[in-house]
Amino acid sequence: MEQLVIYNTLPRKKEVFKPLVEGNVGLYVCGPTVYSDSHLGHARPNITFDLLFRFLLHKGFKVRYVRNITDVGHLEDEVEGTGEDRITKKARLEKLEPMEVVQKYMNTFHRNMNALNVLPPSIEPRASGHILEQMQMVEEILKNGFAYEAGGSVYFDVEKYNKKYNYGKLSGRNLDDIRTNTRQLDGQDEKKNPFDFALWKKASPEHIMRWPSKWSDGFPGWHLECSAMSTKYLGETFDIHGGGMDLTFPHHECEVAQSTAALGHETVRYWMHNNMITIDGQKMARSLGNFITLDELFSGNHELLEKAYSPMTIRFFILQAHYRSTLDFSNEALQASEKGLDRLMNAIETLDNLQVSEESTIDIFSIKEKCFAALNDDLNSPVAIAHLYDGVKMINSIKAGTEKISADDLEKLKSFYNTMVFDILGLKKEKADAGANDSVLNGAIELLLKLRTEAKVNKNWAMADKIRDELNSIGIEIKDTKEGFEWSLK
């Protein structure tokens, strides 16, 4: 099979992916901060890297996929100097224990991801469970001279680090630009420079989430957890680190700096960033308040939604755009995905009822080859899907009798669609199989349709149409075929 090429944010170009240890891949992806419901934007990185995970598995790699849960509160409103973090604040608003908030939204996140058919990662570490590792890393950075203690907090010394290494290399900045553009915040006089960031933060008296340390009762800085946990589970050097583009700076830049400062070398070989989902051309974000939660999408319960959209519609919608492009939300676009997915799935079902011939008049091999070539080219799922539709046309043509397929090719084609659509793209059937789980219903409908066939034989069109229309209105779709009829639950 061809080699996988991925776009690496660090050199800003596509590179052939070669794992550090042959046959094995270490993958780390920034997971959610669990303080509110997951929204459409969160679906993107999870589906993107789920595709990567599945594709790597398909290629035969042994993958350790680590995706963290951020459940340690971090400073939210430094301007006001309250020092209150998101999780603590939410806990007060909802009168819950902080860990209760964490559990609640983590459960929702898992439920939503499961609905989207996102495979669970190999390890899902929580920041709160790795305070020790984070403190050890602070210790290392202090020892190496790239951090300083001030008033019970520990800050990363960006200027000093930049003299030896290059702060800004990932996000394409240099320290002079950052210096002139960093907002001057209040209550930061402890820092030598405004762009220094906290490794350990002393907790204010009202701050609930806190851990004892040699510096103070406090909590780790936000960027630290990913450095500490990726190193712990994937080693001092690992293959791929993923996350949303909005995390490139400062989060990932700080991660690079911390890891380098602690270990003396960089840890990540390939950085991958997915683009944002937009709404009216603007990024969908919790902070902007323009988000639609996944539960709202699944239920249709939101003023911007014309209807409910199934999890697979959402997944397909996301896969129909390249992960490095922005993707604009709209009802029209979602409905187009819904119908398109339906057509794809119908064609796959048709594969089970095709007549085989001696010879094939179609070329199934080229579709397969093109699909894999597309995915190998930086996970170009939209192009792979486009080729799948060429196959849909073939399948329907075979059914219509204008093309032929041999038994051998049919088996290959089925196997390919199963692998590509279900295993790699991670789509699944959502429609109930026709009455399969209810033989009574099954029999009743068959009976009605036989009566309808009789009515048709007698040219009693009114009766035939009545049966069809009324079954239709209760959610059963009737299609007449040459052989008689087909029906399915809508």
Spatial CA neighbour of 396 closest among 413, 374, 408, 372: 413
Site string for RNA, 68-87 (x = CB under 7 A): --x---xxx-x-------x-
* Cβ burial, residue 419 (10 Å; 0-12/13-18/19+): middle
353 SS3 class? helix
Contacts of 273 (CB under 8 A, 6+ apart): 9, 242, 243, 244, 245, 247, 248, 324
385 Rama sector, left if φ>0, alpha if ψ -120 to 50, beta otherwise: alpha
Q: Interface with RNA by CB under 7 A: which range of 16-24, 98-106, 155-163, 376-384?
A: 376-384
Q: Interface with RNA by CB under 7 A: which range of 90-98, 306-314, 382-390, 410-418?
A: 382-390
- Asked if residue 229 binds RNA (CB under 7 A), the reply is no
Are the CB atoms for 185 and 79 separated by under 8 Å?
yes
- Asked if residue 30 binds RNA (CB under 7 A), the reply is yes
Residue 433 CB, shortest distance to RNA, in Å, is 17
Residue 33 CB, shortest distance to RNA, in Å, is 4
C-alpha triplet 259, 127, 272: angle, nearest 5°? 50
Residue with tokens 């399915």: 488
> Which CB, 17 or 197, lies closer to RNA?
197
- Asked if residue 248 binds RNA (CB under 7 A), the reply is yes
* Pairing outcome for strands 5-8 and 147-150: unpaired
> Which CB, 61 or 156, lies closer to RNA?
156
Strands of 275-402 (E only): list them. Answer: 277-279, 282-283, 327-329
Return the residues of window 293-322 that contact RNA according to CB under 7 A.
320-322
Return the residues of window 100-159 that contact RNA according to CB under 7 A.
none
Residue 75 CB, shortest distance to RNA, in Å, is 7
Contacts of 40 (CB under 8 A, 6+ apart): 277, 284, 291, 292, 293, 294, 297, 314, 329
Are the CB atoms for 83 and 204 separated by under 8 Å?
yes
Containing 345, the helix (H) or strand (E) segment is: helix 331-350
Contact with RNA (CB under 7 A): which of 164, 393, 428, 429? Answer: 393
Residue 22 CB, shortest distance to RNA, in Å, is 28
> Which CB, 24 or 389, lies closer to RNA?
389
Residue 455 CB, shortest distance to RNA, in Å, is 8
* Pairing outcome for strands 476-480 and 485-489: antiparallel
Residue 393 CB, shortest distance to RNA, in Å, is 4
- Asked if residue 13 binds RNA (CB under 7 A), the reply is no
Contact with RNA (CB under 7 A): which of 222, 233, 270, 271? Answer: 222
> Which CB, 41 or 220, lies closer to RNA?
41
Contact with RNA (CB under 7 A): which of 69, 247, 257, 362? Answer: 247
- Asked if residue 245 binds RNA (CB under 7 A), the reply is yes
Q: Interface with RNA by CB under 7 A: which range of 264-272, 275-283, 292-300, 302-310?
A: 275-283
Contact with RNA (CB under 7 A): which of 465, 471, 488, 489? Answer: 465
Q: What are phi and psi of 470, to 5 degrees?
A: -75, -35
Return the residues of window 165-194 that contact RNA according to CB under 7 A.
171-173, 177-178, 180-183
Q: How many residues bind RNA (CB under 7 A)?
A: 87
Are the CB atoms for 161 and 257 separated by under 8 Å?
yes
Are the CB atoms for 115 and 43 separated by under 8 Å?
no
Contact with RNA (CB under 7 A): which of 15, 140, 190, 246? Answer: 246
Q: Interface with RNA by CB under 7 A: which range of 131-139, 261-269, 274-282, 426-434?
A: 274-282
